[in-house]
């Protein structure tokens, strides 16, 4: 009962933080426009310097950036735990699945389910994007003065992800959050080898279990104590810094991405659960709500993993053994929300740049996006940055495409909140399906 009250308290804090952040952010946005319109831009610059200044983009002390600092400390704390979290949780999961035949069976069902959700998300998002484009709602005037603000990354063949999944250096692979797929491979190799060694690997297993406990305690502290304040600061700052001149030309992309993502959450996962298990999907939607809310607030699937695991095992009736494999794996490779966002973003950028988007173009974009999404790091903004890879594969490299891309990057936070929800709830849905197929789902707990 105490854990239930604590969990409810955390959810309430998250809701208040998100709601408070939007209210404060819009008030700051209104204040900014009012001051700039009445000749009080100097006052706003002082407010921005004290609260919202990106202190890494300044030379010397030009501002305090209190909200920026709080948000960055929280996000860096979450990113700090990503590599050890993946290694410990996935290694222990493979150690617990001592039966190689069982491991192969679970892994196969997990990957097939994720792939099906990928295909469903890409298809439906592509249809929605094509419809919005056909209605002329993506026809916007891009501000050419923003061309220099485009932040790009080198394009590459998405199939390189398969080669890069196996690292050549274990230290370098574990030293960055940009090679999480390689970390997963390391964890799988470590777990399988420890399983084959049996009792000889018991001392190492105990060390990894202790490290996992440390990581979980650190994340619980961040989530319970720091997250509400940090989330309030991040949302407020996002709305205060990016004014109407950014929101205007990209509003249609933002609204489309949010609506499509939330629609997919409410359709493909309940339908997938019903078709695969014949279970009533309503308990799943109700219990997974807080998972989506927390993911939206933090904008990180890695940060949501502990809460997702807790909800699946204590409320949805999933076994700890299977959850410890499915969820960390999903956190890394299941980015179907990212793929849905890519479909909409590419259509918006191409249409705004005067490029005709055809169903064939969208099919190619879906393939490229799924390949790149599998290797996308489980950190905020990574999925939006990978839009450029899909653009490169489609030959979208004109100046106007770069302007549209810069706008997508500038206003990624709000649609990202819906996109990440699609990702993490997909992990939970897959977990329920795999547990049911393995015959270990506690149906009484699920329906309770």
**Which tokens sit at 12?**
């309430």
Per-domain residue ranges for the chain?
2-447
**Interatomic CA distance for residues 441 and 434, integer angstroms:** 9
Rounded distance between C-alpha atoms, residue 156 and residue 153, angstroms: 9
pLDDT at 4: 53
pLDDT for 154 equals: 44
The three-state secondary structure class of 100 is helix
Confidence at residue 42, expressed as pLDDT on a 0 to 100 scale: 83
* 347 in Cβ contact with 362 (< 8 Å): yes
pTM: 0.73
Q: What is the pLDDT of residue 247?
A: 62
Residue 288 pLDDT: 93
What's phi and psi for 65, nearest 5 deg?
A: 60, 50
Radius of gyration of the chain (CA): 22
Average pLDDT of each block of 10 consecutive residues along the chain (448 residues)? 55 80 88 81 86 78 85 82 80 70 83 93 94 84 49 51 81 79 83 85 91 84 82 82 62 88 94 95 93 83 84 93 88 86 92 86 87 63 71 78 76 83 94 95 93
Greatest Cα pair distance, the chain, in angstroms, is 74
d(C-alpha 312, C-alpha 244), whole Å: 40
Domain 2-447: what homologous superfamily?
Sodium:dicarboxylate symporter (1.10.3860.10)
């Amino acid at each position: 009962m105490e854990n239930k009250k604590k969990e409810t308290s955390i959810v309430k804090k998250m809701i208040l933080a998100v709601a408070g952040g939007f209210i404060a952010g819009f008030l700051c946005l209104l204040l900014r426009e009012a001051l700039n319109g009445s000749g009080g831009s100097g006052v706003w610059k002082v407010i921005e310097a004290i609260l919202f200044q990106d202190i890494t983009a300044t030379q010397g002390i030009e501002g305090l950036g209190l909200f920026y600092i709080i948000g960055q400390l929280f996000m860096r704390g979450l990113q700090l735990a990503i590599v050890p979290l993946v290694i410990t949780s996935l290694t222990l999961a493979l150690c617990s699945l001592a039966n190689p035949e069982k491991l192969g069976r679970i892994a196969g069902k997990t990957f097939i389910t994720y792939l099906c959700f990928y295909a469903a998300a890409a298809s439906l998002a592509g249809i929605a994007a094509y419809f919005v484009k056909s209605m002329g709602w993506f026809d916007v005037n891009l501000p050419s003065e923003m061309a220099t603000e485009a932040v790009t990354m080198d394009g590459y063949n998405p199939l390189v992800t398969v080669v890069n999944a196996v690292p050549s250096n274990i230290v370098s692979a574990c030293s960055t959050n940009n090679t999480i797929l390689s970390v997963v491979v390391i964890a799988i190799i470590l777990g399988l080898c420890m399983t084959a060694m049996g009792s000889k690997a018991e001392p190492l297993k105990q060390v990894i279990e202790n490290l996992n406990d440390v990581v979980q305690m650190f994340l619980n502290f961040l989530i319970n104590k720091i997250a509400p304040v940090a989330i309030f600061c991040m949302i407020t700052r996002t709305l205060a810094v990016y004014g109407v001149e950014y929101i205007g030309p990209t509003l249609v992309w933002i609204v489309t991405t949010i609506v499509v993502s939330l629609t997919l959450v409410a359709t493909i996962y309940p339908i997938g659960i019903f078709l695969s298990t014949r279970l009533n999907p309503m308990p799943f939607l109700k219990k997974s709500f807080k998972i989506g809310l927390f993911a939206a607030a933090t904008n990180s699937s890695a940060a949501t993993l502990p809460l997702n695991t807790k909800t699946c095992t204590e409320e949805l009736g999933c076994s700890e053994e299977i959850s410890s494999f499915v969820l960390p794996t999903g956190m890394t490779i299941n980015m179907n929300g990212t793929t849905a966002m890519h479909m909409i973003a590419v259509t918006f950028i191409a249409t705004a740049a005067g490029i005709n988007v055809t169903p064939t173009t969208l099919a190619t974009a879906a393939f490229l996006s799924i390949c790149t999404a599998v290797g996308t790091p489980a950190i905020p903004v990574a999925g939006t940055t990978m839009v450029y890879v899909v653009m490169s594969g489609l030959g979208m490299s004109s100046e106007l495409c770069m302007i549209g891309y810069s706008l997508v990057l500038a206003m990624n936070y709000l649609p990202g909140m819906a996109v990440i929800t699609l990702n993490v709830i997909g992990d939970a849905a897959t977990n329920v399906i795999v547990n049911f197929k393995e015959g270990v789902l506690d149906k009484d707990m699920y329906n309770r």
